[in-house]
Amino acid sequence: MYYVVPAMVAEMPNECQPYTAFTAVNLRGSVFLWLVPFPPDDRQPNAWLVTNRECAEAAINKWVRVASNRDDGCYHAIEYEGPPVEPMFPPETFRELLMLGFKNRVVDRPDHPVILKLRGLA
């Protein structure tokens, strides 16, 4: 997976899928980016995608654990029932977290190797 900066999406529109990136932290204090894809425009919403987004949005205001339910074909947000815990977010900005998370996997220029390869030029 690559992070394609908005200005480069036009260079490879059929290969890009939009995501929402949520900054998240678990109870142990580990920070991560929770990437939630948008459903494709040309299909019915997929229950896995819809419930993934619902879980991420629920986690904005409360601690949850996400569990997959294969029988129902979706995710469930299970609320944390322990004592109150304040989340400890890092000092880095969202952009800094994106760059840390994607490291060398940022498509940010027209001559990026990924774009050249898709065009058959590399």
Task: Break the chain into its structural domains and give their ranges.
Answer: 3-118
The model's pLDDT over 41-71, given as tens digits with 9 standing for 90+, comes to 767 778 999 999 999 999 999 999 999 999 9
pLDDT at 36 over 90: yes
- Token pair, residue 90, equals 């890092």
pLDDT of residue 38: 87
- Which tens digits make up the pLDDT trace of 79-110? 999 998 999 999 999 999 999 999 989 999 99
The pLDDT of residue 86 is 93
Phi, psi of 11 (to 5 degrees): -75, -20
pLDDT, residue 67, reads 98
Mean pLDDT of 5-32: 92
Q: Please report the pLDDT score of residue 78 as a whole number.
A: 97
Backbone φ, ψ for residue 31 (5° rounding)? -90, 140
pLDDT at 16 > cutoff 80: yes
Q: Which residues contact 4 (CB under 8 A, 6 or more apart)?
A: 12, 16, 106, 107
Tell me which DSSP letter residue 64 carries: E
